Amino acid sequence: MLAVKVPKKEAEMARRRLLELGILAKGYSIKREGDFVLFPVTGPVNGFELVEAEFERTERRPHSYREVVEVPAELRQLLPSSFDIIGDIAIIELPEELMPHGRAIGGAILKVHRHIKAVFAKGGKVEGEYRVRELIHLAGENRTETVHRENGIRLKLDVARVYYTPRLATERMRVFEKTQPGEIVFDMFAGVGPYSILLARKADLVFAVDLNPWAVKYLEENIRLNKATNIVPVLSDVREVAGKIKADRVIMNLPKFADRFLKEAMLSVKPGGIIHYYGFSPEEDLFSEHEAKIKATARELGFRVEFLDRRKVRPYAPRQFNIAIDFRVE
């Protein structure tokens, strides 16, 4: 290809000039020949000695699996631009048309993201009381246990046996920032402990309840892993425990069914205590239905509620949002 040849001592000046002119060919390495340096160029340029030369291509590491994956051209546009990473496991949501190419997609993810050791596809919706979903192994190790880091804590978990999403990390940090030293916290649907372990760094005591035995097994391991000494893990249906605990702050992270547990939450909070309620809502009505249920339950129990904050936490499905409502109970 066409090249500009300059004496070594003028090489830096020449490189800048060629860059300015936008004529330096990208993707090739510059070549040294004795006391001269050769730059690959895309066309003739005045004021330089031009020669023909061969150049080696420079390797640019691909940034996305989409750059290296081999799928039929007509399916390329369906390739998801993102996927979840939990520890060293990737979980991707593939449209049906791409499922037959799952191995190639998984392989491409492993190739581009060297820290990922296993790739799974979502095999369905998050379902049941335990809020877990089926996973389909695509590539790498057929292993579902990993250790994930979030907000400075370590969480060991099995992605096939417990609920966990890294997409709530910011929300959990927001609740941590509101938590005050000395508080008693009641994490009603604790899972493997991402709220409990974080909030235990500020609160006096955290009650962490879950009815999934796998979640509580990992919660207990995570309490040890993070050297927390002020968390009480409880394997139980929260209905058995609620009312026996009086907390300053209650976390209701079960968006699909939280409205069914409002009574339990309100009976577990001290006067003036705060409840962090989560729900799913359509875009056109994010809060009013949930707030109506909160008010109705408070009325039934003879409590008064003061709404403190309401926000979209994250998109959940097309035109559906995971929302949060913080309220005080008097």
Ligand X SMILES: C[S@@+](CC[C@H](N)C(=O)[O-])C[C@H]1O[C@@H](n2cnc3c(N)ncnc32)[C@H](O)[C@@H]1O
160 lines the binding site for ligand X (CB under 6 A): no
- Cβ neighbours around 163 below 10 Å, total: 21
Figure out which of the listed residues 200, 209, 231, 329 binds ligand X, where binding follows CB under 6 A: 209
**138 by DSSP, 3-state: which?**
strand
**Amino acid code (one letter) for 76:** R
Query: Distance between CA atoms of 137 and 147, rounded to whole angstroms?
Result: 18
Candidates 18-26, 117-125, 209-217, 292-300: pick the segment binding ligand X (CB under 6 A). 209-217
| Unique residue bearing structure tokens 């391991």 | 221
- Identify the helix (H) or strand (E) that includes residue 175: helix 169-178
Structure tokens that stand for 281 in this block: 């809502």
Judged by CB, which is closer to ligand X: 17, or 217? Answer: 217
Please state, in angstroms and rounded to a whole number, the distance separating the CA atoms of residues 263 and 269. 10
- For ligand X, the closer of residues 237 and 309 by Cβ is 237
Examine residue 127 and tell whether it contacts ligand X (CB under 6 A).
no
Among the residue ranges 58-66, 85-93, 125-133, 279-287, the one whose residues contact ligand X (CB under 6 A): 125-133
Q: Which of 214, 174, 173, 170 is nearest to 190 (CA)?
A: 214
The 165-204 contact track toward ligand X, x by CB under 6 A, reads ---x--------------------xxx--xx---------
Q: Which residue lies nearer to ligand X by CB, 48 or 120?
A: 120
Q: Report the C-alpha gap between 181 and 96 in whole angstroms.
A: 49
Q: Which is nearer to ligand X, 162 or 329 (CB)?
A: 162
* Nearer CB in complex with ligand X: 41/325: 325
Nearer to ligand X, 91 or 238 (CB): 238
By CB under 6 A, name the one of 253, 268, 297, 322 that touches ligand X. 253
The answer to whether 42 and 23 have CB atoms below 8 angstroms apart is: yes
Token pair listed for 284: 């056109």
d(CA 255, CA 257): 6
Residues paired with residue 86 on neighbouring β-strands, in sequence order = 89
Determine if 129 is a binding residue for ligand X (CB under 6 A): yes
What is the smallest separation between the CB atom of 327 and ligand X, expressed in angstroms? 19
Number of Cβ within 10 Å of residue 252's Cβ equals: 24
* Single residue of 163, 186, 207, 277 touching ligand X by CB under 6 A: 163
Q: 10 Å Cβ neighbour count for 127?
A: 11
With CB under 6 A as the rule, give the number of residues binding ligand X: 20
Q: How far apart are the first and last CA of the chain?
A: 79
Q: Indicate the DSSP class of residue 125.
A: -
Kindly tell me which of 90 and 198 has the beta carbon lying closer to ligand X: 198
Q: Considering the complex, what minimum distance in angstroms separates the CB of residue 217 from ligand X? A: 12
Cβ proximity to ligand X, 195 vs 277, nearer residue: 195
Pick the piece of the chain touching ligand X (CB under 6 A) from 23-31, 57-65, 106-114, 211-219: 211-219
Q: What residues make contact with ligand X under the rule CB under 6 A?
A: 129-131, 163-164, 168, 189-191, 194-195, 209-212, 215, 237-238, 253-254
